[in-house]
Amino acid sequence: MLLTFGMIFLALAMRPSPQRTVQAAAQAKDRPNPNTVGVSDQSGSTQANVPQSVPRFFKKGEIANYAQPSINGIPAATWQCDDKSRWDDGSLKFAIVSLVIPQIPAHHNVVVGFINNTNRDSGAKGGTPSGYLLKAEMLSPPFDFEATAGLTGAVSHTISARAVLNKDNFRYWLQGPVVTAVIIEDRDTRSFDVNTDGREGNPLHPIFEVWFYPQNHKVEVGFTIENAWGSSNPVQSARNQDYSLVLSTGLASPVTRLTQPGFTQYSFTRWRRAYWIGSDPPAMRYDWNPRYLLSTKAYPNWDADNIPNERAASGVYAAYTRLYPARLTIPGFDDLYGGQGHGPGGIVNFDQNLDAAGDSDWIGLANTWDVLYLLTGDPRLRKMMIDNADLAGRFPLWFREADAMAGSGKYFDAPTAGSVNTRGRVVSVNARQQVTLMVSNWHPGCAGEAADNINVGSPLKYGGWPSLDTSHMPDWGYIPYTLTGKYYYLEQMQMQAAYILGFYTGCYDLANGYYRQGTLAISTRWPRDQAWHIRTVAYAAFASPDGDPEGPYFRDKLLNTIAMFEGAHGLPNDYPSRATAYNWGRTTWQSSQANNPSPLGAWQVDSATEIYAANGRSNNVNPNVLSNAGSMFMEAFLTCSLGMVRQLGLADTKPLLGFLAKRYVPMLLDPSVDHYLIEEYVYPSQVKPSNQWVADWATFQKGYLVLPKGWSGIGTSGTLRGFYSLSAVSYLTDITVDGYSGQAAWTWFKHNKPCQGCFPKWSIVPLPP
């Protein structure tokens, strides 16, 4: 059994620590945080005229126009700013800023800063890009551009990126004098799609993401093969394909980059591998200046006072290098039930059985390695992040719409009355209103669903790879996209969010208490399912580029779930346009408590809370007294996700957080309450025989078999559960319950909870007011 990185950190935290990794732009916590990024040489050789691309969130109001980079305080001469989104005041929110650095001495760093410029790049006037490459220049000899994917099966194909580009099947992602990035694919007519089984229809879709740097004629190519098309016509849809694979780069003297023996690429999967044409550029390290980056509010506010040291990063990377070799390949290791019923199957660091119990490193607002890379900039952790994000498409949940005017709703942005065509985008439940995307519940038989169904070209078989709910689902795209700027990860984030909205039973029947209700796409399952649903949909709503329909689509569906939660918990409706969702939550959802809200903030009762109470002796609660016991850890997850929705500015979730705070805040400050109960696995929520809510703290404490006398021992599961709760309380600091301050509750908790710094992913602190 592989150790989790949390366990590694805990072990390392108990040992003396050497000097922490130097942060190029580090600041004391009580000083202003300048917006800088450190770029340092890792090759041991002085580098000259170095092109670099820096993806970056910016504070609201900081950059009114475009971000011009500076180098050690001197404005860069050659630069570009590809803005992808802006705050509601028009200032820059997220951009990919590129520059040419004249010199980086060996083993030294330069500090890149950002200043406002009314131009977009060093040759532009205003917002019009200049200096970018045209097709003929990309195909010119200095770049030696070619990338081929050779697929060998019952029938074989060699797909040439150069040929696709030559046919004008490309669109720009970045444009300027430093880098031209293009997405090379034929998404409209699918003329370069292929099959390897010789049957009618071509389910395999090639995509090449190519970044051209004219300063040194370097080219990076990202290869992708998707088997993700979803169509009402099975000939146009995904089906399993068997093939072996060879990837090559270069035109004059092609170089084989990857040879993959035969495997099955299952329906609704995808993968990415990236290589440079010619030699790789010298190794670099980025200090993202996490204290500034977290202050933009674009990420959970991980504790920048507890940045992991070099030994901790080395331990995490060492565990990664000891993975089963097959887990680092495109098909992964299909061995779910091998060896004692706990197979080592998986893809990179993701176990094949994502739903296995325990604190897996993919559970949370972000994956452990993604968090550590953001905090440390360690290039080894960057490799971990990229490998995991590139190959996570092995799980079958990635859908691209094959049909124009799809389903019963016809339009991407609004059913029957929209304006955005569906073909080539993620699957929209506005168009396929009652589609169900979870492969284990493929066509559930909703009344009138047939027009919305995706009909596959072969039986849905996935070996040991699971069909997925959201209960233990990682976030696969947000941090990889925002720290690399790669288009692949943007689509990964959007495709995952779209799957989440459509995976559960799609039937629209407002008399039913658990369907997702068609186009409403309401999250109706357990609190941890709700948490990770909300997390990824919120990230996609926040980070999707301006002007694209995906961001508004994701926010629209997110608000339906928020309105439903308000109705279900007896709160006023803050979203009058979402009355249907609100009223369904108030009157019909199987976990609604609108007419009788829990006095102590119990979120819901469901089959899990009944089981927790029935198995009370193993959960330290009294099964003779309790009919339901809520999940402390699930609701901590949900609190964090609702807090992030508010932090990102997508919705005002303070009323919902206030409901949850009814338990958290008094539990930590009321002198009559055992504060250490915050680490327990479950909490008493309803009592027998009449399923009445636990209404006071005396009854609450009597529901436990044993009251703890102190914090859980270091290394026990309670330690980690305490940090789940500590992170949750960090989102409640401006809420007061029964006269008790959320800020005071968090301060007491933070000061008294041992092992601060043991779990960086679960060390979230409040943002400054």
Whether the per-residue pLDDT at 27 is higher than 50: the answer is no
pLDDT one-digit tens code per residue, 475-530? 999 999 999 999 999 999 999 999 999 999 999 999 999 999 999 999 999 999 99
At 8 the pLDDT is: 59
pLDDT one-digit tens code per residue, 251-280? 999 999 999 999 999 999 999 999 999 999
At 32 the pLDDT is: 62
Whether the per-residue pLDDT at 467 is higher than 60: the answer is yes
Over residues 683-701, mean pLDDT: 97
Sign of the CA dihedral running 443, 447, 453, 458: positive
Q: Residue 130 and residue 183: Cα distance in Å, rounded?
A: 19
Other beta carbons within 10 Å of 88: 8
Q: Residue 52 and residue 484: Cα distance in Å, rounded?
A: 11
What does the DSSP 8-state code read for residue 425? S
Sign of the CA dihedral running 56, 36, 379, 358: negative
3-state helix, strand, coil split of the chain in percent (to 5) is 30, 20, 50
Whether the per-residue pLDDT at 19 is higher than 50: the answer is no
For residue 87, which of 122, 70, 62 has the smallest C-alpha distance? 62
Give me the DSSP letters along 129-149: --SPPPHHHHTSGGGT--EEE
Conformation bin of residue 151: beta by default, left when phi > 0, alpha when psi is -120 to 50: beta
Show which of 277, 295, 324 is a domain's final residue: 277
For residue 474, which of 349, 331, 335 has the smallest C-alpha distance? 349
Q: Residue 399 falls within a domain, yes or no? A: no
Q: Residue 299 falls within a domain, yes or no? A: no
The CA–CA distances, whole Å, from 104 to 29, 34, 285 equal: 28, 21, 12
At 12 the pLDDT is: 54
Q: What's the structural domain count of the chain?
A: 2
Phi, psi (deg, nearest 5) at residue 40:
-130, 150
pLDDT one-digit tens code per residue, 746-764? 999 999 999 998 899 999 9
At 339 the pLDDT is: 52
At 28 the pLDDT is: 44
Give the structural domain span for 623. Answer: 596-769
What does the DSSP 8-state code read for residue 121? B
At 458 the pLDDT is: 85
Whether the per-residue pLDDT at 342 is higher than 90: the answer is no
Radius of gyration of the chain (CA): 26
Residue for token pair 């995490």: 316
Conformation bin of residue 183: beta by default, left when phi > 0, alpha when psi is -120 to 50: beta
Enter the pTM of the model: 0.96
Q: Residue 347 falls within a domain, yes or no? A: no
Contact 662, 600 (CB under 8 A): yes
Give me the DSSP letters along 596-629: S--TT------HHHHHHHHTGGGTTB-TTTEEEE
Contact 563, 517 (CB under 8 A): no
Q: Residue 44 falls within a domain, yes or no? A: no
Show which of 250, 277, 304 is a domain's final residue: 277
At 18 the pLDDT is: 35
Q: Residue 419 falls within a domain, yes or no? A: no
Q: Residue 106 and residue 98: Cα distance in Å, rounded?
A: 21
Residue 56, C-beta contacts closer than 8 angstroms, at least 6 positions apart: 35, 37, 67, 94, 95, 96, 97, 114, 293
- Is residue 712 very low, low, confident or very high in pLDDT (cuts 50, 70, 90)? very high
Show which of 229, 261, 277 is a domain's final residue: 277
Phi, psi (deg, nearest 5) at residue 522:
-80, 140
% residues pLDDT > 70 (the chain): 95
Q: Residue 727 falls within a domain, yes or no? A: yes
Whether the per-residue pLDDT at 11 is higher than 70: the answer is no
Q: Residue 683 falls within a domain, yes or no? A: yes
Phi, psi (deg, nearest 5) at residue 460:
-80, 95
Contact 39, 108 (CB under 8 A): no
Contact 553, 547 (CB under 8 A): no
- Is residue 714 very low, low, confident or very high in pLDDT (cuts 50, 70, 90)? confident
Other beta carbons within 10 Å of 198: 8
Over residues 615-628, mean pLDDT: 96
Name the burial class of residue 529, with classes exposed (0-12), middle (13-18) and buried (19+) by CB atoms within 10 angstroms of its CB.
buried
Average pLDDT, the chain: 94
pLDDT one-digit tens code per residue, 191-232? 999 999 999 999 999 999 999 999 999 999 999 999 999 999
Q: Residue 731 and residue 635: Cα distance in Å, rounded?
A: 13
Residue 24, C-beta contacts closer than 8 angstroms, at least 6 positions apart: 36, 37, 38, 40, 109, 111, 287, 289
| CA quadruple 314, 316, 317, 322: dihedral, nearest 10 | 120
Contact 86, 546 (CB under 8 A): yes
Whether the per-residue pLDDT at 454 is higher than 80: the answer is yes
Q: Give the neighbor-by-neighbor strand order of the sheet with 626-631.
A: 626-631, 682-687, 692-693
Beta strands 74-75 and 346-347, pairing class = unpaired
Q: Name the amino acid, one letter, at 279.
A: S
pLDDT one-digit tens code per residue, 364-381? 999 999 999 999 999 999
Sign of the CA dihedral running 710, 714, 719, 723: positive
Q: Residue 241 falls within a domain, yes or no? A: yes
Beta strands 66-71 and 109-117, pairing class = antiparallel
Residue 471, C-beta contacts closer than 8 angstroms, at least 6 positions apart: 355, 525, 526, 528, 529, 532
